Homo-oligomer: A and B are copies of this chain.
Amino acid sequence: MLEKSHKHITCKNCLSRKDSLLCSMTGEDLEKVDSSKSCSYFKKGQPLFIEGGLPRGVFCINEGKVKVYSRGEEGKEQIIHVATSGEIVGFRAMFSGEPYSVAANTLEESNICFISKDDFLDLVDTNPNLRNGILRELSKELADRASFIKNMAQKSVRERLAAALLILDDIYGEDFINLSREDLANFVGTATETLIRLLKDFKDDGFVTTHVRKIEVLDKEGLIRLAGV
């Protein structure tokens, strides 16, 4: 259980610092970030921002998980990305100058820092390292999404589920994957019922086991073979 305080989290002490684009800065830049940001505790399911909203700044996840998604016609969510500790969320709309094209909600209770648009853009402008980091990050994500598109177009739901479980296993690290069946289905891009059935198959085949809602990956190799990555 996270502390429900709103106390400031010093970047220097941030556990996710080494993995973070933002907090991996040094010297006075780091101090600048530190002094201009605010930190908040988010309950599970709270929105960071909504589709169509206007961006006021970026969010840096100190601890927790955030789903980035977009809603289709009948309200069905497509989860584009699951962000974890150290990641910056919401910086795309910052540069495009357009409203958010996606929404973001916490998937569990989280501590999340916020840096205002001006401060962030100022940092990007004056700090070549951060800038290059962001360019690199954007490019990588673009590559990720190209392969996401390809998978959606060419792979079966079964293959996509295997791939998704591998990605999520990475994101959740030592913890079990902790997503509702519906969220998982919305990440894989399928109906919840189909997801549940396939997950059962995977259990029968020994690829995973479940602890109520949580999913434990037992056979990575098997999933890799199945996903055809």
Interface residues of A (CB under 8 A from B): 70, 72-73, 76, 78, 80, 92-98, 101-102, 125, 128, 131-132, 134-136, 138-143, 145-150, 152-155, 189-190, 228
Contact = CB atoms under 8 A, between A and B. Distances in A.
B138 A95 contact: yes
Contacts of A98: 140, 143
Given A95-B132, A135-B134, A147 B101 contact: yes
A7 to B, nearest CB: 33
Provide the main secondary structure of the chain A interface: helix
Given A135-B95, A141-B142, A142-B138, A73 B154 contact: yes
Taken together, the copies of this chain in the complex come to 2
| List of 3 A-B pairs having minimum Cβ-Cβ separation, nearest first | A153-B189, A152-B152, A101-B143
Contacts of A190: 153
Given A150-B78, A189-B153, A135 B136 contact: no
